[in-house]
Amino acid sequence: MKNLIRIFLFVVLAISLSNCKNSIKKGSAESIIDTAAKIKEGFKSFETPVLIDSSQYVIYPLIKEKAEAGDSYGSSYKSSSTTYWNLVFYNTSTKQYHLLDTMKMIISFFDREGDVSNDHSAGSGIADRFIFYKITTTDFNKDGELDEDDRKYLYISDRAGNNFKQITPDSMDITGWHVVKGTSKVLIDAIEDTNHDKKFDAEDGVIPLVYDLVKGGVVEPVFNDKFRTDTKKLFKNKWQLQKSDPKN
C-alpha cells in the first residue's frame, strides 16, 4: 500500500512539474511574441536620433520624403531633399517625449547644433539657446498640397522643442538666415510675391529682414520703403539698358 501511495504521489508531482514548465515556456514565448509584435507595429518613419549638444534632449525626425543618397538633413539647397512632417523631442534623463507641434507642416530644414550648416550661420552664445526651422504650413498656390512651391517660414524653439513660434510674416517666403555672431540679431532673406502670380522667383524682390532673439516681437525690414525705392531708381538710371529709339 505504501508503495502504491508513493507511486501515486510521484506521478502527481511529475504532472504538476510538467504543467508548470510548459506554462513558463508558453508565457515566455507569448511575452517575446507580444514584444516583437509591438516593435514591428511601431512607427515606420522614425529617423536616426539627432543629438543636441550640451543637452539631455535628442530629436527623432519623422520623415515625410526621403532624400537621395548623400543628401544632408533637411537641406533646402539640394534638388532632392529630406523633409519631415514632425519632430519628436526625447529627454534621455527623464524619458519624457513630445512632438514639436500638432499642426500640419513640412519641415525642410532644422538647425540642431548651432553650427554653420547650409549657409545658415547659427553663430554662438544667444543663438545656441534656439533651434531654427524652415517650415511650410500654407498651401499658397492652392494646388491641394504642401510642397516646395509654397511659402516657407522661419520658426524657432528652445533646445527642448518648447516655445515653438513663427517669426517671419505669412506674406513672405524665406530663402535663408544668418545669425550675427556675438549679437542676438538674425538677418533673414525673404521674398515677397510682388507681382501676385502665386510664385516666388526672380520676378519678385528680395526683402532683407532682421529679428532680435532677445527682444522678440515681430521681424522688421532692414531698409525702409523709401531707401529701397530710391535704390531701385538709381539702379535703373545708372545701369539698366535703355530701349533703343525706333526712329534711329
CB 100 within 8 A of CB 72: no
CA distance 172 to 189: 10
Instruction: Output the pTM of the full model.
Output: 0.70
CB 138 within 8 A of CB 151: yes
Q: Which cell is 233 given? A: 531708381
* Region class of 123: left (phi > 0), else alpha (psi between -120 and 50), else beta: left
Residue 134 maps to which CATH number? 2.40.128
CA distance 112 to 88: 13
Rounded to 5 degrees, φ, ψ at 156 are -135, 160
Q: Which cell is 68 given? A: 537621395
CA distance 22 to 19: 5
What separation in angstroms does the CA of 164 have from each of 120, 147, 180, 246? 19, 21, 21, 59
147 CB-contact burial (10 Å; exposed 0-12 / middle 13-18 / buried 19+)? middle
223 CB-contact burial (10 Å; exposed 0-12 / middle 13-18 / buried 19+)? middle
Q: What is the pLDDT of residue 152?
A: 93
Q: Is residue 3 part of a domain?
A: no
How does pLDDT run along the chain (248 residues), one tens digit per residue? Answer: 545 555 554 544 455 545 544 443 444 445 545 544 544 445 557 888 888 877 889 999 998 877 654 444 443 333 447 889 999 999 999 999 999 999 999 999 998 544 333 444 444 578 888 999 999 999 888 888 888 888 899 999 999 999 999 999 988 899 889 988 888 999 999 988 666 666 665 566 788 999 999 999 889 999 998 998 899 889 888 887 665 555 54
What's the domain range around 199? Answer: 50-237
As for how many domains the chain has, the answer is 1
Q: Is residue 130 part of a domain?
A: yes
CA dihedral 109, 110, 115, 117 (to 10 degrees): -10
Q: Is residue 101 part of a domain?
A: yes
Q: Is residue 20 part of a domain?
A: no
Q: Is residue 216 part of a domain?
A: yes
Q: What is the pLDDT of residue 112?
A: 56
Q: Is residue 116 part of a domain?
A: yes
What separation in angstroms does the CA of 98 have from each of 58, 88, 130, 162? 11, 6, 17, 9
Helix/strand/coil for 42: coil
Q: Is residue 22 part of a domain?
A: no
Q: Is residue 28 part of a domain?
A: no
